[in-house]
Homo-oligomer: A and B are copies of this chain.
Amino acid sequence: MTRERIHLFDTTLRDGQQTPGIDFSVEDKIAIATMLDDFGMDYVEGGYPGANPTDTEFFSEKRTKTARFVAFGMTKRAGVSASNDPGLTSLLQAESDAICLVAKSWDFHVRVALGCSNDENLESIKASVEAVVAGGKEALIDCEHFFDGYKANPAYALACAKTAYDAGARWVVLCDTNGGTQPPEIRDIVAAVIAHGVPGANLGIHAHNDTGQAVANSLAAVEAGVRQIQGTLNGIGERCGNANLITLIPTLALKEAYTSRFETAIDPDRLQELTQLSHSFDELLNRSPDHQMPYVGASAFATKAGIHASALLKDPRTYEHVTPESVGNLRKVMVSDQGGKANFINALKRRGIAVSRDDPKLDKLISIVKEREATGYAYEGADASFFILAQRTLSSVPDFFHVESFRVMVERRFDANGNLKTVSEAVVKVWIDGQATMSVVEGHGPVNALDLALRKDLGKYQSEIEDLELVDYKVRILNGGSEAITRVLIESVDGSGARWWTVGVSDNIIDASFQALMDSIVFKLLKNRDQVGLAAAE
Contacts and interface: CB of A to CB of B under 8 A. Distances in A.
Interface of A: 18-21, 23, 25, 27, 52, 108-109, 112-113, 177-180, 182-185, 209-213, 215-217, 219-220, 223, 235, 238-241, 244, 247, 251, 255, 257-258, 286, 291-295, 297-305, 307-308, 311, 314-315, 317-322, 334, 336-338, 378, 380-381, 404-414, 422, 424, 443-448, 451, 470-484, 486, 490-491, 506-511, 513-514
A56 to B, nearest CB: 14
Given A299-B240, A301-B239, A305-B238, A422 B185 contact: no
A279 to B, nearest CB: 16
A473 B478 contact: no
Contact of A182 (B238, B255, B443): B255
B471 A211 contact: no
A77 to B, nearest CB: 13
A481 B472 contact: yes
Nearest to A179: B321
A318 B112 contact: yes
A508 B507 CA distance: 18
A412 B405 contact: yes
Given A239-B302, A322-B180, A422 B294 contact: no
Given A179-B321, A212-B251, 10 more contacts: A209-B292, A212-B216, A212-B247, A213-B216, A239-B299, A240-B297, A422-B510, A424-B508, A445-B510, A446-B446
Contacts of A307: 113
B113 A311 contact: yes
Contacts of A291: 20-21
Copies in the complex: 2
Contacts of A215: 211-213, 216
B472 A185 contact: no
A528 to B, nearest CB: 22
B411 A311 contact: no
A237 B255 CA distance: 22
A492 B213 CA distance: 35
6 contacts: A20-B291, A20-B302, A184-B223, A404-B413, A444-B507, A445-B508
Contact of A445 (B407, B483, B514): B483
A529 B202 CA distance: 62
A177 to B, nearest CB: 7
Nearest to A53: B374
A481 B25 CA distance: 15
Contacts of A304: 18-20, 238
A186 to B, nearest CB: 10
Contacts of A509: 445-447, 475, 509
B444 A410 contact: no
Contacts of A113: 307, 311, 314, 318
A320 B240 CA distance: 12
Given A238-B303, A506-B422, A407 B406 contact: no
A42 to B, nearest CB: 21
A188 B472 CA distance: 48
A164 B266 CA distance: 45
Contacts of A240: 292-294, 297, 299-300
Which among A27, A311, A472 has the highest number of chain B CB atoms within 10 Å?
A: A472
B178 A451 contact: no
A434 to B, nearest CB: 18
B478 A25 contact: yes
- The 4 A-B pairs at the shortest CB distance, nearest first, are namely A180-B321, A216-B216, A445-B508, A405-B413
Contacts of A477: 286, 472-475
A319 B445 CA distance: 43
A445 B507 contact: yes
B510 A446 contact: yes
